[in-house]
Structure 1
Amino acid sequence: MKKFFLLLLTVSAICTAQKPVDLSYYLPENVTYDPNIPTPESVIGHQVGQWHVYHSKLAQYMKALAAASDRITIEDRGKTFEDRPLLLLTITSPKNHQNIDQLRQDHLDFASGNSSKNANDLPIVVYQGFSIHGNEPSGANAGLLAAYHLAAAQGPEIDALLNDVIVLFDPSYNPDGLSRFAYWANTNKSIHLNTDGNDREFSEVWPGGRTNHYWFDMNRDWLPVQLPESRARIASFHKWMPNILTDHHEMGTNSTFFFQPGVPSRTNPLTPKMNQQLTKEISQFHIYALDKIGSLYYAEEGFDDFYYGKGSTFPDVNGGIGILFEQGSSRGHAQESENGVVTFPFSIRNQFTAALSTLAAAKSMRTKILNYQRSFYSDAKKEAASDRNKAIVFGDEKDAAKAYHLAEILKRHQIKVHELKSDFSQKGKKYKKGYSYIIPMQQQNYKLVKAMFNRQTNFQDSIFYDISAWTFPLAFNLDHANLTNLNQAGAEITDLKAPSPSINKSNYAYLFEWHEYYTPKALHKILKKGLRAKVGATPFKLNGVNYDYGTIMVPVQNQKLKSDALFDFLKEVASESHLKITGVNTGNTVGIDLGSNDFDALTLPKVAMLVGDGVASYDAGEIWHLFDTRYEMNVTKIDSRNFGNTNLSKYTHFILPNTWGGLREQDSKKLKTWVQGGGTLIGFRNAVSWLKQKEFIKLEFKKNDMDAENIKFEQRRNFRGAQVTGGAIFEANIDRSHPINFGYKNDKVSLFRNTNIHIKPDKNSYNNPIKYSSKPLLAGYISEENLDSLKNTVPFQTKRLGRGRVTVFTDNTNFRAFWYGTNKLMMNAIFFSKMM
């Protein structure tokens, strides 16, 4: 009888899951709604939660609301890579809308301390954003309801709320990913919902809908700001400086509902304690609201507030309060879990409830939170005044583009940046005007500057939800130093301009050093045009100019273009790549002459990359993005399913991104045959272990055996977690004469590392052109055991296999699109592979 009763409950739950719910399931009781405001169903054609909403329908509904309601204005802030609009709704009372520009300025002035107004006189600003991970769609679908409620609810309560609150409403942080996942969930939905977690509906094909077009996790890009979606929302953030920002996510199906604060010991030390106190006070509103509808929840567990590149933490270093919501996911329309059947409508209702409880908290705590923001910036000014360092200088005397791109990020965050008055030296490094910039510390965004340039190596906790270091000048491999005065600072830069190109005509040869960031783009254009180019393996001096390892020479004679046409083409190349190309009229130099055999002929690479099942989509996407958007080079993405039928002979280079599955045995043999025939294979991170196992390359790993002594059962996860190198920065010594290091002017390089793969050095020192130092940690967390194992190991090796070559990197040279400083290592492995 008991078993029959349980079966009846299960069948009942599944049947309930199949029945579409109407608005009454979601909306608060005892609230009337304006019939002139369109409901979601009237525009998108189905009840909320019945289907996963496509972004096109979501955008259609937001536009319909804006047209129907005097509480809403809408703006299109740009496009995603797939040409979807990046919408933002401003939702507040009609009275506030009539004076919205002045209210925004009043808000900014009050926060910065430039206003005599009282917090009682100002509305609070709340930025509500949904589903930055496309396959966590309950947030964006809840956004349909939240926008409807704010537009259509009637009565004194909603009027009071909208008088006191300005809502910046971002209906989809990730339109491309949301649409990708909606397609998957909807096309695999059964009429009679199947809640079995093994059903195809709950198992997306690679790469899944989590990411954007280039497979980036966009909830890691708030600080680097490399993607168009991020640039739009960061511009909106700084335009308004919101007091609260919400970030609606999903987690495992067996989980319930999480809201911040997170684990107290995992809060970034730059975040004021008052921030966490206010976060906890806000959480009481979520508790009340979720208790009311009977939903389970938890807080202060499992998530952290450390990395400022996430939506829930970025506001914390900008005077606001970031709130993370995590809902146990149905991952489709209804799925079995430890807590019963999780339906899509149920997950939407929790997100909608939290969205409203956030606004209730904002209204109730309005003056307290407004005053907190003001005190945040007031305290930051005091800290800046007492800081013995008055400025930071950064740059690279050989590479204007890298320094420019870091300055570009700073400007996106409204950080003041100055040009140099003139060239100067500091601690043995030369800083050139046009190649370097100065950041004064006495400015409103002082704490944000500290967060971006900080080098923390000691931590209260050893568990990190994300990376533990992101020091920007190290990521860009730029020279940088603290300054005790502003004597070297020139004018503040209000209109940042890309480095200026230059070229002079020659009838003999053209030269450009390999240091500039966009030289791979330039070289590829030259080779693709069918022109001959060579690279110098040794430095030389010509016309008083010292040319370093890796200088590119384009001779004028015996080219497919005549002299004038060649000049015109190279002028175009210089402009597009922001390069200085020097025309010379003699081959006679101090050092190797231009006709020397130490100039190696270069050939056009044709590159392919493995993608699909078994490959880490983040790593593959970062490589694709680098090739496509930075260097304008094609990389052919070959899916692992199709590898066996692919003719590899047309490719010169093949990239294996980080992989946990590798290839099938027959495909492995095919790849090895290709390498032995002359191909270059480049493997990253876990692919290194696979390549060793399959005998593509001989390597010896340094192992670290860790014994869990005196560890209690309840401590086992923390013990294991402490051994994870989740993302830190390390120093390596480099041999600048080796082709892998062409374009690096210093004898050290900063590497990002998030693996514990430690390769022992080759017995011949010249085969170890990159080697971790004996004290490698620059910033971030690594356990003492792993740090000891890392010392004096090598992150790079390259060896012959037949007539071809296998090159491996233990580290990610392209991390999250902002690790500009090591992008060239991969490009060198491609363009100069025959020289190694």
Structure 2
Amino acid sequence: MRLPTLLATLCCLIISVSGQAQNPADAEAAMDYYLPQDVTYDSSVPTPEEVLGTVPGQWHVRHDQLVQYMRAVAGASDRVTLHEFGKTHEDRTLLYLTVTSPENHSNIEEIRRDHLALTDPNRSGELNTETMPVVLYMGYSIHGDEPSGSNASMLVAYHLAAAQGTEIEQKLANSVVILDPSLNPDGLNRFASWANTHKSKNVVSDPNSLELNQRWPGARTNHYWFDLNRDWMLVQHPTSQGRIDNFHRWMPNILTDHHEMGTNSTFFFQPGIQSRTHPITSQENQDLTKAIAEYHADKLDREKRLYYSQESYDDFYYGKGSTYPDVNGGIGILFEQGSSRGHAQESNHGVLKFPFTIKNQFLTSLSTLEAAQNLRVDILNYQRDFFEGSLQAGAEAPIDAYVFGTPYDRARTHHFVELLKRHRVELYELSEDMEAGGESFEAGSAYVIPTNQKKYKFIKALFERRTTFTDSLFYDVSTWTMPYAFNLPFAEVEGDVPTGDEVEGLPSFPEGEVVGGQSEYAYLFEWDEYYAPRALYRLLQADVRAKVASKPFEMNLPAGETKTFDYGTVMVPMGPQSVDREKIHELVRKAAEEDGLTVYAVGTGLTPGGIDLGSGSFEHLETPSVAVVSGSGASGYEVGEVWHLLDQRYDMQATLFPQNRMSYADLSRYNVMVMVNGSYRDLSGDAVEDMKRWVRNGGTLIATKHANNWAEQHDLAHINFVEDKADTSDEEESDVQPMPYADMANTRGAQHIGGSIFHTRLDLTHPLGYGYNDEDLTVFRNSTLFMKKAENPYATPLYYTDEPLASGYISDENLEELSGTAAIVVSDVGSGRVISMADNPNFRAFWYGTNKLFMNAVFFGQTIDGGSGN
């Protein structure tokens, strides 16, 4: 930086500091405090105060109030239309406003179609960007306890609808604003209830105040405690699915993502750390982000507000709101405001008041709109160039197509296709059987994605296996290779691929069938399909007896062919049933139809090969009664992932079990207990003894990640951990070379595994391996917990290979420690089992490939032979 520029910057910083010390404490909720004083407003458009009886910042706005105000603005202004696009898990309305000039509203569909044409390389060259509006998507408070964004959205809506004068009219004529006031209605409402409930008449700013310290698990997340800001690419929740549909309906040029951070922080805007920008993101994207940032700086400088950029946050993981646009022809902008968390809180800059935080979000919303006006043509041209470049890159790519799919699990394949179509990826059915990349693909169960399409950059981001990086630190995960997440065979193909029909829109769920009609003897279905656990649970819940095969066998089918049934085949014998046979058949038929299973009706227990159906190698199954240990010390995210998996995917009842009830609740009503990543220090001695007694009496305890430390310390899991080689002896410490203090954070951070994918080897004969057809299983890992293989050779059904890295970052030291270690260890405790999983098999609801490991532990943990434990 040149000296004059440096001096000017320092002067601005000094001015900002003097103002920052005053403004947070002086901030009071009033319309005059927020709104520019040189603008007049249309009195026919109601203010938030006129509709809600309170100014933003006096109280935390509830979602129903937010909806009420947005409806009022839309009803009063010809600049605004309101659109509903779905419901949250808690049945709250999802909506957005379209804000533009009345003239634009009169032909809004034509504007939208022309704008979409800008993303089509076959049509974009015909468009004149000089005359086209720019499209902005303004999204607020995807984290529920970061509410300044949603509270500011009312001010933004009011200003855009009511401000008068040539300047605002010109901006609205040259832009279409999609205003999404609440990206997470359920979390926002939960936090508003907390903050308002604990607010005093005399506002308390003491950081120890109950108002500023939420009860576990907090309000950051949605109903199932998922971080929705990680779901833009994964689209596993209704809010995200509707929002991604809106995104592709408009393909915005700029998307703003308004957040909060620690109370002692100031204000952040992108760009982020340049060395951690994803390589697929172009320099042009970052240059435009920097150009837009100058408008934020100017707006905040005028208000003497402290801020920073190019630190703390990065643009790597494409699943966040601020980065998803970067791989889809837009510009994502993250805003992070130091949080008051409640109505006021002491900070390094004085008492930080809620209205101060709201105003910063309002100011940067306005600066974004101003930047969009002045850079409009450059931004529109960038979008056109992006898709032309993406198409060209795909045409010149060293591969011609990706092929993926498996005949063993149509549901898993279906859900991956569904994800791709939500992102408007062009793909086709495979028309002929083929082999590629050492994998076999069958027509009817595999799909083809040609690289010669405008979505190539996004497709590459989904499929790439990246193991080299310019930076070893990541704000989020370092990889997300989607076929690995779904445990689907895939291959990169050069040359022609036999393609059939194109998949248009969202695919229909594959229906199963009952082969052989109604049976008088038994029904069989294999465990390969993703929803087999849902089918089994619906049968067991109806008091239907079922068994699982611990050995393979053959059966002669009605059509005359002989079929081999693998480990984990479920049998429903008709003889020893107390349930009506017609009801059983209806349950079986429903399972085939809704769960995508092929069920076989058989008329004899005599098999031509393997075990007979009356063999003792068919294990009796109990209905799982699951308790998920919850509360302080347990990861709210991972508890939520288990809850969501059981409740939403498998229609299973699961008790979220508070830790403080452990010592006096009747544990005998459960046969499966889950402890996700956590410390569990709050469990009393009596609670620990009760849990140990419960396991000894036959319970199945499933422990993931660092819950295994707790289980090992209390003699529940018989596991040994790999010693950390970084812990050196006193003798070795003398050889440690001094290093620069400035490098400490990066050096330590490089040993963190933020999220990478690894190869493991699975025992397909073990109950935890039922339903899998390939012993090579890719797993997701984001911890440095390394377990040694069990001394008993049968107690480690899953372990890391000697060269485990499939994709993502891991230091050489950690890779060496991880190689060959255990991923799952099973321990015998009396009549019960403790199943120790080193990783989280249910990560963010999209890691379909390892969900079956978890469900096998739930359903078949009871069947694991005691001889396989320690």
Distance in 1 separating the partners of 2:20 and 2:375: 43
Question: In the alignment, which of 497, 503, 511 is matched to residue 508 of structure 2?
Answer: 497
* SS of match in other structure, 1:345: helix
Match in the other structure for 1:528: 541
Match in the other structure for 1:178: 188
Letter in 2 for 1:126: L
Match in the other structure for 2:64: 56
1:518-667 equivalent positions in 2, closer than 5 A: 518-543=531-556, 544-589=562-607, 590-662=609-681, 663-667=683-687
Match in the other structure for 1:82: 90
1:807 aligned onto 2:831: no
Contact 1:704 / 1:785 at 8 angstroms: preserved in 2?
Answer: no
Match in the other structure for 2:13: none
* SS of match in other structure, 2:674: strand
1:164-175 equivalent positions in 2, closer than 5 A: 164-175=174-185
Query: Displacement, 1:591?
Result: 1.2
Question: In the alignment, which of 693, 717, 721 is matched to residue 701 of structure 1?
Answer: 721
1:64-463 equivalent positions in 2, closer than 5 A: 64-113=72-121, 114-115=123-124, 116-463=126-473
Distance in 2 separating the partners of 1:11 and 1:710: 39
Deviating more after overlay: 540-549 vs 724-733: 540-549
Contact 1:434 / 1:499 at 8 angstroms: preserved in 2?
Answer: no
* SS of match in other structure, 2:690: helix
Match in the other structure for 1:29: 37
Query: Displacement, 1:486?
Result: 4.1
Query: Displacement, 1:10?
Result: 14
Distance in 2 separating the partners of 1:468 and 1:665: 40
Letter in 2 for 1:74: L
Match in the other structure for 2:49: 41
Match in the other structure for 2:530: 517
Query: Displacement, 1:16?
Result: 4.5
Distance in 2 separating the partners of 1:399 and 1:74: 41
Letter in 2 for 1:646: A
Match in the other structure for 2:860: 832
Query: Displacement, 1:11?
Result: 13
Query: Displacement, 1:193?
Result: 1.1
Contact 2:256 / 2:332 at 8 angstroms: preserved in 1?
Answer: yes
Distance in 2 separating the partners of 1:757 and 1:144: 46
Deviation track 1:781-825 (CA, whole Å, cap 9, x = no partner) reads 111111110000001111111121111111000000000000011
Match in the other structure for 2:705: 685
Query: Displacement, 1:155?
Result: 0.1
Deviation track 1:235-271 (CA, whole Å, cap 9, x = no partner) reads 0001111000000000000000000000000000000
Query: Displacement, 1:587?
Result: 2.2
Distance in 2 separating the partners of 1:117 and 1:360: 23
Q: Could you list the runs of 5+ residues in structure 1 that have no partner in the other structure?
A: 1-8
Q: In percent, how many aligned pairs have the same letter?
A: 49
Q: CA 1:721–1:768 in 2, change beyond 3 Å: closer, same or farther? A: same
Match in the other structure for 2:868: none
Distance in 2 separating the partners of 1:484 and 1:583: 43
How many matched pairs? 826
Deviation track 1:618-677 (CA, whole Å, cap 9, x = no partner) reads 000000000000000011011123333321111101111111234222211221111112
* SS of match in other structure, 2:655: strand
Query: Displacement, 1:728?
Result: 0.5
Query: Displacement, 1:558?
Result: 2.6
Contact 1:111 / 1:370 at 8 angstroms: preserved in 2?
Answer: no
Give the RMSD, CA atoms, in angstroms: 1.6
Deviation track 1:717-744 (CA, whole Å, cap 9, x = no partner) reads 1111111111100000111101111111
* SS of match in other structure, 2:320: coil
Query: Displacement, 1:698?
Result: 1.8
Question: In the alignment, which of 753, 765, 776 is matched to residue 804 of structure 2?
Answer: 776
* SS of match in other structure, 2:119: helix
* SS of match in other structure, 2:73: helix
Deviation track 1:316-338 (CA, whole Å, cap 9, x = no partner) reads 00000000000000011111101
Contact 1:615 / 1:659 at 8 angstroms: preserved in 2?
Answer: yes
Distance in 2 separating the partners of 1:562 and 1:670: 39
* SS of match in other structure, 1:176: helix
Letter in 2 for 1:664: S
Query: Displacement, 1:427?
Result: 4.1
Deviating more after overlay: 437-446 vs 302-311: 437-446
Distance in 2 separating the partners of 1:564 and 1:197: 63
Letter in 2 for 1:666: D
Contact 2:677 / 2:703 at 8 angstroms: preserved in 1?
Answer: yes
* SS of match in other structure, 2:476: coil
Distance in 1 separating the partners of 2:623 and 2:854: 15
* SS of match in other structure, 2:244: helix
Letter in 2 for 1:81: H
Distance in 1 separating the partners of 2:168 and 2:294: 20
Contact 1:251 / 1:326 at 8 angstroms: preserved in 2?
Answer: yes
Query: Displacement, 1:765?
Result: 2.5
* SS of match in other structure, 2:804: strand
